[in-house]
Chains A and B, each alone.
Chain A
Amino acid sequence: MLELIVISTLNGVLFGMLLFLLSSGLTVIFSMMGVLNFAHASFYMLGAFFGFQLTKWIGFWPAFVMAPLLVGGIGMTVERYGLRNTHKHGHVAELLLTFGLAFAIEEIVSMIWGKSPVDYRVPALLDFPAFTVFSTNYPAYKMFMLGVSVLIFVALLLMLKRTRVGLIVQAALTHPHMVGHLGHNVGRLFMVVFGVGSALAGLAGVIAGPALVTQSDMAASLGPILFVVIVFGGLGSLPGAFIASLVIGLVQTFAVALNGSLASVFGPLDPWWEPSALADIWNVTIAQVAPIIPYLLLVIILIVRPMGLMGTRES
């Protein structure tokens, strides 16, 4: 039992940190530009596929640096030539642009790399068990993922709170016009923030690709949960996104580990109810409903605290 708890905690924190890498960029972009970037998870997918392709050509470590930069570049291009032009038509146009972009990227990826998973492997240098808890191995690669995510979190926090650039970004989050009047180039700031956000998603893709399966539907499967994270944590709040990522990572992991059901708490159902739909509800285990728990959390937080955990304004 203790083994299950330790492993589940590690897995939960790891999944949470991966979510954070993605949601940090998304939440900053959202609060700054007012646009929910539907293509964010697609940048994550692009990162994974670039990582795969570059690893094949020049090895994992150069790819680890290059792929996020490439994705960041694409992100900046999208902002500069796409979003900035649609901005004057309002948020709906911007939203539709990112929405269409998500589909376009998915189609392009499946045209180039096909629809089945590609063989993206953990680099040999990190392909060993880091340590053994009881008798379960914990892969070094997962520790590496954890390390990179923590590093990025610290770097982001320091940059936002301790540097001049961070100060301007924070100001632009709430008062973009004022920042513009003070002589800062808000357009360029938006572009850079969008680029950095995309690059972070790309980085998440590069490191998650070998650990999960790299295929053309990976964006669609991760996208919805990102929105849960940023709404749950509070829009625009980095610490909020951090906490929400960890909470959702842990909740989902532990829910899977639990076998409890209504039947195990209140005893078996009266046989009279057996053929009814109630029997299904009675016997379903927490593990079976694990994937919907984040969405349930989303609904609850929107009812109880619409601005999210650490959010400052209602969206």
Chain B
Amino acid sequence: MRRLILAVALIAPMLGHAARAEDTVKIGYIDPLSGGGASVGEGGLKTFQYLADELNAKGGILGRKIEIVPFDNKTNPQESLVQAQKAIDAGVRYITQGNGSSVGLALEDFVTKYNTRNPGKEVLYFNYAAVDPAMTNEKCSYWHFRWDASSDIKMEALTNYIKDIASIKKVYLINQDYSFGQSVRSDARKMLSAKRPDIQIVGDELHPLLKVTDFSPYIAKIKASGADSVVTGNWGQDIALLLKAAADAGLKVNWYTYYAGGAGGPTAIKQTGLDHQVFQLTEGFANSGNQTAMDYEKAFRAKVNMSLWYPRAVNEMRMFKAAAEKANSIDPVKVAAALEDLKFDVLDGGTGVMRKDDHQFFQPIYISSFGKLAANEPFDEENTGWGWHLVAKVDTSKAMVSTTCKMTRP
């Protein structure tokens, strides 16, 4: 009898747990929560938790609550695989990750292999920020979906904008010396020479990743080259220090960047005093002018106390809900099928589509500049008093690239 009671006591909580697990959709958030990438990773986690709360308040997905389960991968591909396995063991069928294409490629490969070996227990990988084009080209996978624009899409959008600006004549490329920086550089060369053969590439620099403490020697070189514009995919301190050195030397050029808006970037630009001379490419931003998005930004800032870095995360979660409702199931296989070619009205306005061929989401891309705010622009960044201002919107049709993906479908 005692043994029976013990058994019941042991099993009953498990049953309860199993029943509860049926009611929730667990999303494993695998990103850095310690080490150098922690500040970015924590920002992402807060964003996803906000999004989950928001969906849950409206009844969740198909009546099920959403739970974000954080896993710390220390920006390390190896560690990410361990954490992914841990997540799956904890009942996670949806993984989301963003920081670092090296991690992204490892996870994509892991999920693909896992799904082949474990039919019926498929896991989906939702990517919100790893932008290496390889992930939707030669290394593409049916189980991976990307909501951020890959680096070649961003370059396509940027060069489509540059094409019509006659004053740009001499361009200087400066990028970090690793796979991402090299892809920015080669895409820029290829696309600029196709669209604006008259533009001269007066410099093409690769510098070590996150190791340079003073960029003034590079700035002197840019100055000597006579460039009028600089294109860079730099992120983190590499963009902040680069801009700082430029302002000190009084270098008057326009900066076309991927990540000037990242943590610390706005502070550096404000220090430089480069008013509306630094541009960035995003799928949305605080002052986009779209009323729905701006109301959303306001509510988000009020509750989370940071700006919405990832409008794409909003799109990701909402599309997840839409796909699950379309399939009338939260089974990853059915959700994946429903996501393919799903059209969706994105947060900042306009329609995007999750392309079936490579599972890349195509959406309008905004080019914005950082500086003093106009009357109808309520949001600044990092308490600098300066904010992003709309320069151009590149429609979905002009932010498309072809793919070499040959997808193996289940």
Contact = CB atoms under 8 A, between A and B. Distances in A.
A138 to B, nearest CB: 8
B248 A142 contact: yes
B263 to A, nearest CB: 5
B212 interface: yes
A136 B240 contact: no
Contact of B221 (A4, A15, A116, A222): A4
Interface string B247-275: 01111000000000001100110010000
B36 A257 contact: no
Interface string B190-225: 000000000000000111100111101110110110
A166 interface: no
A248 to B, nearest CB: 13
A94 to B, nearest CB: 28
B221 A257 contact: yes
Contacts of A12: 217
B43 to A, nearest CB: 10
A297 interface: no
B39 A115 contact: yes
Contacts of B221: 4, 256-257, 287
B220 A136 contact: yes
B38 A115 contact: yes
A151 B382 CA distance: 37
Contacts of A288: 177, 206-208
B243 to A, nearest CB: 10
Given A4-B221, A213-B268, A287 B39 contact: no
Given A115-B39, A136-B250, A137-B249, A213 B211 contact: no
A8 B213 contact: no
B237 interface: yes
Interface in A77-100: none
A253 to B, nearest CB: 5
Interface string A100-119: 00000000000000111101
B406 to A, nearest CB: 23
A152 interface: no
A116 B263 contact: yes
Contact of A257 (B39, B220, B248, B263): B220
B224 A3 contact: yes
A11 B213 contact: no
Interface in B255-302: 263-264, 267-268, 271
B241 interface: yes
Contacts of A121: 271
A12 B214 CA distance: 10
A23 to B, nearest CB: 15
Query: How many B residues touch the partner, as a band?
Result: 20 to 34
B244 interface: yes
Secondary structure call for the B interface: helix
B264 A137 contact: no
A213 B207 contact: no
Contacts of A116: 39, 263-264
A147 interface: no
B15 to A, nearest CB: 42
Contacts of B216: 7, 11, 253
Query: How many A residues touch the partner, as a band?
Result: 35 or more
Given A3-B223, A119-B271, A291-B211, A137 B39 contact: no
Contacts of B212: 291
B36 A217 contact: yes
A237 B238 CA distance: 34
Contacts of B205: 287
Contacts of B237: 117, 213, 215
Contact of A256 (B38, B218, B240, B267): B218
Given A213-B241, A221-B213, A287-B205, A117 B268 contact: yes
A257 B219 CA distance: 9
A154 interface: no
A218 B213 CA distance: 8
Nearest to B267: A119
Contacts of B218: 256
Interface string B341-361: 000000000000000000000
Interface string B19-53: 00000000000000000101100000000000000
A306 B213 CA distance: 28
A114 B306 CA distance: 15
B235 to A, nearest CB: 13
A212 B214 contact: yes
Contacts of A7: 216, 220, 223, 249
A139 B39 CA distance: 31
B214 A11 contact: yes
A125 interface: no
Contacts of A139: 248-249
A117 B249 contact: no
Nearest to B34: A115
Contacts of B211: 221, 291
Contact of B217 (A119, A212, A256): A256
Given A7-B220, A253-B217, 9 more contacts: A8-B217, A15-B214, A115-B36, A116-B264, A139-B248, A211-B248, A212-B213, A252-B217, A256-B218
16 contacts: A4-B223, A7-B220, A11-B216, A115-B38, A116-B39, A119-B382, A129-B250, A141-B248, A212-B214, A213-B244, A215-B264, A221-B211, A253-B217, A256-B221, A288-B177, A291-B211
3 closest Cβ contacts across the A-B interface? Answer: A137-B250, A256-B217, A7-B220
Interface of B: 36, 38-39, 177, 205-208, 211-214, 216-218, 220-221, 223-224, 237, 240-241, 244, 248-251, 263-264, 267-268, 271, 382
